[in-house]
A and B are shown apart, each in its own frame.
Chain A
């Protein structure tokens, strides 16, 4: 459905994206993960034809974005980082306007607007001025405009940014339901979000595609690599013992939560590390009060794996 072939984007001397190639098949939900400023939005802007490529080709449904941009754009809906809404318009008027410029036939326009308002949960707000909506509802209006016309490809740039937890769950469910029948490309800097919605993930770092994973592989590498442990011993005594364990790649002392115990965050690569840790604690006559994957830091752990200190993993050819 979407194919990028050796795409490079340069602004003068600065290269924002370098030689990116991947494809997203029909009905696939692909996540684009990277830190802020990694080039996610630029990549999305290139994929949607908002920005032209300096080099390379973007194909949407087999149509070349450079050769036939208007035809290619008819296949897609795009939610940029900032919802492109007009504050002075009512929600329904705005959606009707978007439908018209996207080429939705007039006869179906009202029906489609009603339908999308229902799906996105903004029916109650359809006559409200957009400037009076909360951030969450503005984001929903942004998603509604992207989904309007039932495009075959939906491109969403950080769709849950700034939403409250309830709204995030709702929006994710909405994207998942859309992804059952359509192709979705979604960007985020939150791994958990990508892991929940997507089947496949691309990781982008400083304008380069550094990895192309199935989500299952991603989860393993992240959750298996970091532990939060609490040991009934003083920090000074624990630290040298932990540091001596093979497979440990990082040790960070955390704020102690219980009297007489020390908390650590251990990053490891060896799959037998947990057993070694348990044995070391027992040998020293201490007790292990807590050993759990540091789930709150999944994103941090994963991004650390793809950070500058780590070698770039060659990206596999992105095939659905």
Chain B
């Protein structure tokens, strides 16, 4: 698995996709930081983190769109699937590479709370808690991207499909307030990917949300493996 992980990680910076993702994310997050915190003299950085979810929704397909789709298109999956690697190792290696680039990127944004620290006295525990939740949410969204990438051979289709999935999750969130049935609303809230971030944003460490994100990610990665296995059987 480490060979796949290392190759993918290196590839992000050989194909420029890694630089593009980091650059775009930092640029847009920087604008949000300036608007939410600097210009308004506001030390609540977790609001910025919450807004960064949309930035990540916009940029995350850059990390995942080619992961499995391009292997299939270039028929390199024949190399991977006839090696001594298992499907789980292939999917995990690729996913962890994307997750690492994401982790490094949000690590770089830590310069913003440091600036706030120089200018005021924000609660670093609150901010770290927010970062932890944001990382888990990002990990879940990346797993969605990996699944979509396993379905198609075309990178563009993978990116568009990922946007589709993420918008669907967002729409379900919006539906929560519109649904009259409290039972159904409760179910939607429970499943909502974005609402699960709220406890982290407001300073509470939610074990259930953390477990939810981990299970969510594992489920989507498992489904990615299933899709690849199914394609082997169907020869598609």
Contact = CB atoms under 8 A, between A and B. Distances in A.
A145 interface: yes
Contacts, number: 71
A102 B3 CA distance: 10
A49 interface: yes
B155 to A, nearest CB: 14
Contacts of A145: 79
18 contacts: A11-B234, A49-B81, A49-B82, A50-B78, A70-B84, A73-B84, A78-B79, A78-B82, A80-B75, A80-B78, A97-B3, A98-B83, A101-B3, A101-B83, A101-B84, A102-B83, A102-B84, A145-B79
Contacts of B79: 78, 80, 84, 98, 101, 145
Among B7, B15, B79, B232, max chain A CB count under 10 A is at B79
B123 interface: no
Nearest to A85: B76
A29 B71 CA distance: 30
B76 A88 contact: no
Interface residues of B, number: 24
A49 B86 CA distance: 12
Chain A interface helix/strand/loop/mixed: loop
A86 B11 contact: yes
B4 interface: yes
A97 B7 contact: yes
Contact of A52 (B4, B75, B76, B232): B232
B160 interface: no
Nearest to A129: B14
A187 interface: no
Contacts of B235: 9, 11, 16, 42, 51
B84 A50 contact: no
A180 interface: no
A74 B84 contact: yes
B74 interface: yes
How many A residues touch the partner, as a band?
20 to 34
A101 B75 CA distance: 16
Contacts of B86: 70
Given A86-B7, A86-B11, A88-B11, A45 B78 contact: yes
A89 B14 CA distance: 8
Interface of B: 2-4, 7, 11, 14-15, 74-86, 232-235
Interface string A198-235: 00000000000000000000000000000000000000
A84 B78 contact: yes
A78 B82 CA distance: 7
Nearest to A70: B84
Given A49-B82, A73-B82, A102-B83, A84 B75 contact: yes
A162 interface: no
Contacts of B74: 82, 84
A162 B128 CA distance: 57
A177 to B, nearest CB: 23
A37 to B, nearest CB: 14
B184 to A, nearest CB: 38
Contacts of B233: 51-52
Given A11-B235, A88-B15, A78 B80 contact: no
Given A73-B83, A76-B82, A84 B76 contact: yes
Contacts of A101: 3-4, 79-80, 83-85
B93 to A, nearest CB: 9
Contacts of B77: 84
Contacts of A252: none
A78 B77 CA distance: 12
A64 to B, nearest CB: 16
A290 B84 CA distance: 57
Nearest to A101: B83
Given A100-B2, A100-B3, 13 more contacts: A11-B234, A42-B235, A45-B78, A48-B78, A49-B82, A51-B233, A73-B84, A80-B78, A88-B14, A89-B11, A97-B7, A101-B3, A145-B79
A105 interface: no
Contacts of B83: 73, 98, 101-103
Contacts of B78: 45, 48, 50, 78, 80, 84
Nearest to B1: A101
A263 B78 CA distance: 48
Contacts of B82: 48-50, 73, 76, 78
Interface in A70-124: 70, 73-74, 76, 78, 80-82, 84-86, 88-89, 97-98, 100-103
Nearest to B2: A100
A80 B82 CA distance: 10
A78 B83 CA distance: 9
Given A82-B75, A84-B75, A97-B7, A50 B81 contact: yes
A98 B85 CA distance: 11
Nearest to B83: A101
